[in-house]
Structure 1
Amino acid sequence: MSRAADKLPMFVTEFVTEFGTQEAAGDGNDDFDMAQQYVDLMAQKNISWTKLELLRRLPLRRGVQGGDLRQRPVPGHRPAQARGRVGPRAGQVRGYLVRRLLGTGVALAAALALPAAVPDEVPAPAPLAATATDESRIPAPLWTDETDCGTSVFEGIETKPGSVEVVFDPQGQHGDVYRLHTSGEQEGSEWAWVETRGHKTPDGDRLRFTEGDTYYIGWKSMWGPLPTKTGDWVALWQIKDYGSGAATPPRSLRARGDVLDLEYCDPDMKMTQLWKIPLPKDSWNSFVVGVRISSDPFKGWVHFWHNGEEQVLNGQTQLPAAMLCADFVTDKWGVYRSDGITGEATAYLADAKVGTSYEDVSG
């Protein structure tokens, strides 16, 4: 491939039509060392390429993102689903993962017939101009909600009392969604709530956030009915500590009266309102939270998007914040409320994802 790239006339575009990190049959482990050599060579020679993944019962590796493959362990598995979207039930072969086209035109591999003899000295092709797609990345969430699998995609379900079930979106916008409902009838001295807890990957692992991790969490929510009361709160989403030292959730989305806000609880248990809007009910809203997990408020941070727009948190788009007070954190969706609020409440959840970039979870 290297010799051909050096010999071909400058008007000929080279294009590698199939490329992967495993054996051609799709079996075996990833060979990132050898794959890196090919990626580096193709970058050096300005050769366009696509990455091929043939999926049957095999885990879907993340699309090659560029950089050093040997420093990018595969963080999650997404087998193909028969109906075409990535899901935990493999059924059919899912097509191709296209990484990038380094050329400025369309490369048609078999469209050119090369001459029988190529001169020994051919001017080297000029470097091609970078395009907007050169450094684009393929969204590759580490976890997604899969309504076909019911609640097994979550690490746990908390119903005190309540239920979590899959229903068709009452607004008709998102197909099957999760419906979290509580009657609001208190059981003994415990508060009434219904929540999902954490994330379980298709291979059974639990996705938990620890010191130094960076994650982005995206989802769509709709609430109604949702009783609220001025002076009391309803937590609708929260990042929660677990293990030794666990305390008030460091980050939560709450309803207080007619307001929806994002709140931060620092290590000294001081609660700060970072953002607020009028509480939307009976309509879908999208959210993305980006977090760097750390017990150090100078190392941890948070970003926040609402309906596709990045929000300002206390005057900053990236707010320094301690996000860890215990062994690990994970997040929860649902309805969790203080004593002063009673009555039935329902939260709907759609398109929930966890990834390592905004692009992974915002679609």
Structure 2
Amino acid sequence: MKKLQLVLVAFTLFAQPISAEIIWSADPNKSTKVSDYFKRFDDGNYPQDYCVKKGDEKGVPSSTVSVVNDAKYGKVWQINKPIGRKRGEFARFEGQLNSLSPKEGDDIYIAWNWKIDTVDGAKINKEITVFQWKSAAPHNQNYPINMEYDGDLTLNAWGPDYVGNKSYSSRRTVLWRKALPQNEWVSFIVRIKVNKDDFGGLVEFWFNGEKQQLDNLESKKYQVKLSADKTTMYHRTDDGKFVYPKWGAYNKKSCKYNVNAYFHDMKVGTSLQSVLSGNGK
């Protein structure tokens, strides 16, 4: 009887599902092929990606992605978005080698190391988007969460517009802000619990390995709900047909910059512990 009990205990232990693991990563040491890790690279060469008027991208080089050797981390991804281009972004987790498609109810931890600079040394003083938690059209939010940089880095939430008459600026709330110099590596972890209900989703944020307090620092018509200790925000995080990440440099304010964005140790885990190594710890 005791022997049978031991066998049952052992079976139970080994039969438990893995609850804390890396479920996606993009390591240029294993492959430098963008399509192995991402659905695509958006180089800004689209009719709708004009900076001033339709067609003004003619003669402007497209954005590019490459792998470069960094003094601190070795091989890292580098996105370059030239002046006159609106966009240079990795899009979506669905690669040929490593693939992940977020869905309603998922609870994931997205982690990466990042730095930014300009090729000509110009100061970035207009907000450019460097990360988007994007929704596929038709949508009510377009991007439920994003990060923007203008010398300060901000984490922002965007409320839904169900009737189609609210401006983007009125639906933005700035949750976190920090001054960051160019050409300095920092790390991020963003926990997202994916949910379509108003205030049903959950977001938490770590900067350089330390969990950050969030607040409605700058808002107009929309504010998120916050936990008592302000380290957890409640917000609609699932929108449109599906949601997915984008990393790089984007928006019309970015058109004036020849900007590089660098990425290292990009990964997604099912727990905080699974993604902490290499991201501020």
Relative to structure 1, is the Cα distance of residues 149 and 200 closer, same or farther in structure 2, using a 3 angstrom cutoff? farther
TM-fit CA distance, 1:5: 8.9
Deviation of 1:280 (Å) = 2.8
2:31 aligned residue: 149
For residues 250-292 of structure 1, the C-alpha deviation after alignment (integer angstroms, 9 at most, x for no partner) is 1111013x31110100113510000000023111100000011
Q: Report the Cα distance in structure 1 between the residues aligned to 2:187 and 2:139, rounded to whole angstroms.
A: 32
RCO higher in 1 or 2 (8 Å CA, sep ≥ 6)?
Answer: 2
In the alignment, does 2:99 pair up with 1:185?
A: no
CA contact 1:262–1:274 (8 Å) conserved in 2? yes
Q: Determine whether 1:325 maps to 2:239.
A: yes
Letter of the 1:209 partner, please give it.
Answer: P
Q: Distance in 2 between matches of 1:2 and 1:201?
A: 48
Q: Paired residue for 2:124, among 215, 228, 231? A: 228
Deviations 1:146-174 (A, max 9, x none): 213221211110112210111111xx111
Bigger Rg, which one: 1
Pick aligned residue for 1:288 from 183, 189, 196: 189
Does the aligned pair in 2 maintain the 1:215–1:356 contact within 8 Å? Answer: yes
The offset of 1:237, in angstroms, is 1.0
Asked if structure 2 preserves the Cα contact closer than 8 Å seen for 1:143 and 1:201, the reply is: no
Q: Residue 134 of structure 2 is aligned with which of 230, 240, 252?
A: 240
How many residues get paired? 233
**Residues 37/254 of structure 1: CA separation in 2 closer, same or farther (3 Å cut):** same
Q: Which secondary structure state, in structure 2, belongs to the residue aligned with residue 360 of structure 1?
A: helix
Change (3 A) 1:345 1:203: closer
Corresponding residue SS for 1:224: strand
Q: Which residue of 1 aligns with 2:164?
A: none
Verify the 8 A CA contact 1:263 1:275 in the aligned structure 2: yes
- SS at the partner of 1:149? coil
Deviations 1:275-324 (Å, cap 9, x if unpaired)?
Answer: 00002311110000001111113321100000010000116111001012
What is the aligned counterpart of 2:88 among 169, 172, 194? 194
1:247: how far off? 3.9
Cα displacement (A) at 1:4? 9.5
Contact 1:154 / 1:197 at 8 angstroms: preserved in 2?
Answer: yes
Moved more, 346-355 or 177-186: 177-186
203 and 348 in structure 1: CA distance in 2 versus 1, 3 angstrom threshold: closer
Alignment pair present for 1:342 and 2:256:
yes
- The structural deviation recorded for 1:328 is 1.1
Q: What does residue 264 of structure 1 align with?
A: 157
Displacement over 2 Å in runs of 4+? 1-6, 35-40, 200-204, 226-229, 337-341
1:3 equivalent in structure 2: 3
Q: Which structure 1 residue ranges, 5 or more long, are not aligned?
A: 7-34, 44-63, 75-136, 187-191
Correspondences of 1:92-103 after superposition (within 5 Å): none
Change (3 A) 1:285 1:203: closer
| Residue 82 of structure 2 corresponds to residue 219 of structure 1 | no
Structure 1 CA distance for aligned equivalents of residues 234 and 156 of structure 2: 13
Question: How far has the Cα of 1:200 moved from its partner?
Answer: 2.9
1:176 to 69, 72, 75: 75
Q: TM-score, normalised by structure 1?
A: 0.59
C-alpha change, 1:5 and 1:210, in structure 2 (3 Å) is closer
Cα distance change of structure 1 residues 289 and 38 upon mapping to structure 2, 3 Å threshold: same
Normalising to structure 2: TM-score of the pair?
0.75
| 1:3-25 CA-partner distances (Å, limit 9, x unpaired) | 3998xxxxxxxxxxxxxxxxxxx
Report the CA distance shift for 1:2/1:163 in structure 2 as closer, same or farther (over 3 A). farther
Distance 1:249 1:193 in 2: 15
For residues 338 and 277 of structure 1, the distance between their equivalents in structure 2, rounded to whole angstroms, comes to 22
Determine helix, strand or coil for the equivalent of 1:277.
Answer: strand
Within the candidate set 166, 173, 184, 2:67 is matched to 166
Q: Give the aligned residue type for 2:31.
A: C
- Kindly provide the amino acid, as one letter, of the partner of residue 142 in structure 1: I
- The one of 146, 149, 154 aligned to 1:255: 149
Q: Any idea what SS the aligned residue of 2:132 has?
A: strand
- Is the CA contact 2:94–2:101 (under 8 Å) kept in the aligned structure 1? no
